Amino acid sequence: MAAKTGCGAPTLAEASSDRVVLSKVTGGNALPVGRQESGQQESTMKILLAEDSPVYRHLISGHLKEWGFDVAVAKDGAAAWELLQAPDAPRLALLDWVLPSIEGIELCRRIRKAQSSSDYTYIVLLTGKEGKTDLVEGMRAGADDYLAKPFHPPELEARLLVGKRILDLQRELVEARESLRVAASYDFLTGLMNRGEIVALLNRELIRGKRETKPVGIILADIDHFKKVNDSLGHSAGDTVLKEVACRLKADLRVYDGAGRYGGEEFLLILPGCDLATTVRRAEEIGRLVSATGIMSPKGIVKITVSMGVTFAGDGRSTTVEALLNEADVALYRAKENGRNRVEA
């Protein structure tokens, strides 16, 4: 059994493995159309039916429920538009062309205008009109497909199957894009921001601090004698220690502070609004938090300390990212020279 660490927060590596389960391909299987399989549990796909004819409304919603959909019904365009704006609005919409208050085609235009790239709504227009111009107009307005009334139930079911498959693909694309964004910005082992991201944050905070004439505190922390951990307990135990140290480093931060992995066993903390004295005090607190208890690794308990170099921007000092990082590095070097497990500014 893997040893539990005190912080115990899942790292990105662990968190992203859940994402893989959730993004399992679900389309085109033997499940009813509206059922979607996600990991272990099954959930029902919501569909909006906007139809003013009581007969069609009754008939269609009966079929939709039978096919496993969770049906939201609107008797006119305004009610449909309201349902489409709810936080967890249906992503599949079956809209009658001719509707009181707002017509189906106008709903299509509004949906397309309002939607973001991450929540696509698949629209099937129901039409009584046969003219070709009308259909083209409907597609131009944003409909994905259409069905002319009257229709046989399997025709509708087939169209919804396609819609559901497209929505599943779209969700996978969004998830893949999100995974790429996370992978490009965060350190895979510790889940902290990677070097590029934390330095970019420092840059942004320096600009903001200048504008608002507020200081920005900077802490560069380096694990003491970390090579010995790797040498005595192995690289894998070293990784466990790195994860736990990262977790302890950020445990005491405020929401607008930033923590990143700056190098192998070096971490950069950005504390907006903190002057030098405050940053030193907080660095000392964070250092105590890191060393308070030994870290449990699969190979035994490891006692860890960190050395920290502190600097700050503000008080009319004109400083660049490079100059500040250099100052923090010099201070860190002094902390090492002066015996480690300490803070130097």
| Interface residue list for Mg ion (CB under 5 A) | 52, 96, 98, 222-223, 226, 265-266
Residue with tokens 């890191």: 290
The least CB distance from residue 193 to ligand GH3, in Å, is 15
The H or E element that residue 266 is part of is strand 266-272
Pick from 154, 235, 255, 318: which binds ligand GH3 (CB under 6 A)? 235
The least CB distance from residue 144 to Mg ion, in Å, is 19
Closer residue to ligand GH3 (CB): 99 or 302: 302
Q: Which two tokens stand for residue 39?
A: 């990991």
The residues in 163-202 that bind ligand GH3, with binding defined as CB under 6 A, are 189
The least CB distance from residue 230 to ligand GH3, in Å, is 5
Stretch that binds ligand GH3, among 8-16, 93-101, 220-228, 320-328 (CB under 6 A): 220-228
Q: Closest Cα partner for 344 from 291, 280, 290?
A: 280
Residue 304 backbone phi and psi in degrees, to 5: -125, 140
Pick from 191, 238, 273, 314: which binds ligand GH3 (CB under 6 A)? 238
Going by their DSSP bridges, the two strands 92-96 and 46-50 should be labelled as: parallel
3-state secondary structure (DSSP) of residue 78: helix
Q: Are 217 and 278 in contact (CB under 8 A)?
A: yes
Q: Residue 96 binds which one of Mg ion, ligand GH3, none, with CB within 5 to 8 A depending on kind?
A: Mg ion
The least CB distance from residue 28 to ligand GH3, in Å, is 42
Closer residue to ligand GH3 (CB): 189 or 276: 189
3-state secondary structure (DSSP) of residue 33: coil
The CA angle 240-243-247, to the nearest 5 degrees, is 140
Closer residue to Mg ion (CB): 165 or 342: 342
244 is an active site residue:
no
The answer to the question of residue 305 lying near ligand GH3 (CB under 6 A) is no
Closer residue to Mg ion (CB): 122 or 267: 267
Stretch that binds ligand GH3, among 60-68, 124-132, 152-160, 218-226 (CB under 6 A): 218-226
Closer residue to ligand GH3 (CB): 109 or 299: 299
Q: Residue 239 binds which one of ligand GH3, Mg ion, none, with CB within 5 to 8 A depending on kind?
A: ligand GH3
Supply the angle between the helices 104-114 and 77-84 in degrees, to the nearest 10: 20
The answer to the question of residue 309 lying near ligand GH3 (CB under 6 A) is no
Q: Closest Cα partner for 246 from 206, 198, 313?
A: 198
Closer residue to ligand GH3 (CB): 56 or 333: 333
Q: Which two tokens stand for residue 167?
A: 């929505």
The least CB distance from residue 238 to ligand GH3, in Å, is 3
Stretch that binds ligand GH3, among 37-45, 68-76, 96-104, 216-224 (CB under 6 A): 216-224
Closer residue to Mg ion (CB): 151 or 256: 151
3-state secondary structure (DSSP) of residue 267: strand
Q: Which two tokens stand for residue 100?
A: 């009181």
Q: Are 109 and 82 in contact (CB under 8 A)?
A: no
The answer to the question of residue 226 lying near ligand GH3 (CB under 6 A) is yes
Q: Closest Cα partner for 96 from 141, 64, 127, 142?
A: 127
The CA angle 116-117-123, to the nearest 5 degrees, is 80
The residues in 256-285 that bind ligand GH3, with binding defined as CB under 6 A, are 264-265
The answer to the question of residue 247 lying near ligand GH3 (CB under 6 A) is no
**Torsion (CA) 266, 270, 271, 273 in degrees, nearest 10:** 150
Greatest alpha-carbon pair distance for the chain in Å reads 86
Catalytic choice (51, 205, 244, 265): 265
- Count other Cβ atoms within 10 Å, centred on residue 237: 20
Q: Which residues form the catalytic set?
A: 265
Residue ranges in contact with ligand GH3 by CB under 6 A: 189, 222-227, 230, 235, 238-239, 242, 264-265, 336, 340
